[in-house]
């Protein structure tokens, strides 16, 4: 009936204590697992808390405790199939681990990554998961000094107090090359963006190495950002050449979609009859009937699992750790059947 306490601020433990006729300590203990409170008191507190709509202030709790429960996700181009899948998996996993994700956008520039990390420090984030862009050594040290653990995904650098999560990109690239050779591709090609990412470089490296061992030099098209539009451009470039490729490894599904569309709609080529295409990531669109793309599946849930497990574990000393996961091949219809 008489609903007081409607001012402006949130309802605090003192309000609950007042309403329940107990001390504020009792309220605190009620919401602290393992603390000593009598069932009677606890019941009174819970009743009052429910009536007032009380919730423990995690900010204040984070002041005293060493952990705030917040983990920063630092990411560029979230509106991209692979990224959004990974972020979704990460937030999911963090939540079930009792933590919560704070999203910080960057534009891939070093400056914006630095700003993002500083903001993360400002909120006393337990850790930061960096999906894109690269903090330099000094920045990483600053994070460490502020008790902020760093998770680097798809990066080569390894620093103290840091965990790296990597895929077997090189092996996947090699497998792509072997697959194309087995299909009988005589003019295999590599399509990649110009973005200097460790994982993209590793995929290309593995691809080239296998071909080189067979004495084959791949046709290459490398430019642009990692996007569908670049894929289109790469495709039209490749198919306009004298020696038209008959098998293409695209370091990313997004690129592969563009390449396939260029082949079909701009050059009237049939996939896989005239051309085999292999991608990487297994974004949802790779499974769409318009593409039916043979590709490598990013183990997003395994990646998320590894990150969160490390975060939940004890603050491992100062050695850098590395987690390696493998990308399973997914067979669809963009590669001639004999290749399997």
Partner DNA sequence: CCCGACATTGCACGCCTGTGCATCAGGTTC
Partner DNA sequence: GAACCTGATGCACAGGCGTGCAATGTCGGG
Interface residue list for a second copy (CB under 8 A): 5-6, 8-11, 52-53, 55-60, 62-63, 66, 68, 70, 73, 77-81, 83-85, 87-89, 91-92, 95, 100-105, 118-119, 121-124, 141-142, 145-148, 228, 232, 257-258, 260-262, 264-266, 284-285, 288-291
Q: How far is CA 263 from CA 9, 226, 277, 283, 333, in A?
A: 61, 18, 10, 20, 15
Closest of 109, 110, 97, 99 to residue 73, by C-alpha: 99
* Of 39-47, 104-112, 135-143, 325-333: span binding DNA (CB under 7 A): 39-47
Q: Which of 23, 112, 285, 326 binds DNA (CB under 7 A)?
A: 23
4 SS3 class: coil
> Contact, 249 vs 275, CB < 8 A?
no
For helices 228-239 and 253-261, what crossing angle results, to 10°? 50
Cα 160 from chain centroid?
21
The answer to the question of residue 174 lying near DNA (CB under 7 A) is no
Q: What six digits make up the tokens of 215?
A: 């004495």
Q: Which of residues 189-248 bind DNA (CB under 7 A)?
A: none
* Of 30-38, 113-121, 153-161, 178-186: span binding DNA (CB under 7 A): 30-38
List phi, psi (to 5°) of 287: -90, -5
DSSP state of 316: -
> Contact, 26 vs 45, CB < 8 A?
yes
The answer to the question of residue 61 lying near DNA (CB under 7 A) is yes
Neighbours of 44 (CB within 10 A): 20
Q: Which of 2, 6, 64, 337 binds DNA (CB under 7 A)?
A: 64
Q: Which of 2, 3, 4, 39 binds DNA (CB under 7 A)?
A: 39
The answer to the question of residue 47 lying near DNA (CB under 7 A) is no
Binding stretches for DNA (CB under 7 A): 9-10, 12-14, 22-26, 28-29, 31-32, 35-41, 54, 56-57, 60-61, 63-65
């Amino acid at each position: 009936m008489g609903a007081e306490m409607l001012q402006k601020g949130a309802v605090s433990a003192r309000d609950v204590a007042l309403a329940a006729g107990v001390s504020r300590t009792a309220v605190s203990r009620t919401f602290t697992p393992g603390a000593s409170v009598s069932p009677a008191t606890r019941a009174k507190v819970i009743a009052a808390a429910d009536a007032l709509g009380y919730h423990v202030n995690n900010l204040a709790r984070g002041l005293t405790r060493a952990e705030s429960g917040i983990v920063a996700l630092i990411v560029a181009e979230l509106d991209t199939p692979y990224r959004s899948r990974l972020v979704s998996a990460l937030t999911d996993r963090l939540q079930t681990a009792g933590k919560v994700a704070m999203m910080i956008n960057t534009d891939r520039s070093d400056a914006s990554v630095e700003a993002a990390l500083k903001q993360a420090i400002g909120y006393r984030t337990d850790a930061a998961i960096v999906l894109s862009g690269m903090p330099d050594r000094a920045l990483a040290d600053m994070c460490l000094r502020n008790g902020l653990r760093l998770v680097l995904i798809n990066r080569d650098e390894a620093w103290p107090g840091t965990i790296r999560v990597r895929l077997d990109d090189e092996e996947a690239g090699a497998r792509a090359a072997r697959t194309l050779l087995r299909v009988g591709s005589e003019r295999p090609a590599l399509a990649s963006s110009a973005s200097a990412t460790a994982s993209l470089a590793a995929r290309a490296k593995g691809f080239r190495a296998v071909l080189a061992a067979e004495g084959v030099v791949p046709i290459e098209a490398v430019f642009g950002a990692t996007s569908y539009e670049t894929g289109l451009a790469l495709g039209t470039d490749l198919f306009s050449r004298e020696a038209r490729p008959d098998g293409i490894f695209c370091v990313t599904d997004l690129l592969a979609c563009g390449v396939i569309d260029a082949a079909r709609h701009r050059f009237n080529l049939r996939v896989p009859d005239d051309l085999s295409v292999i991608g990487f990531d297994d974004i949802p669109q790779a499974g769409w009937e318009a593409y039916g793309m043979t590709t490598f599946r990013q183990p997003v849930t395994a990646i998320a699992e590894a990150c969160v497990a490390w975060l939940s574990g004890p603050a491992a000393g100062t050695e850098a750790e590395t987690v390696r996961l493998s990308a399973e091949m997914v067979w669809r219809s963009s590669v001639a059947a004999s290749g399997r």
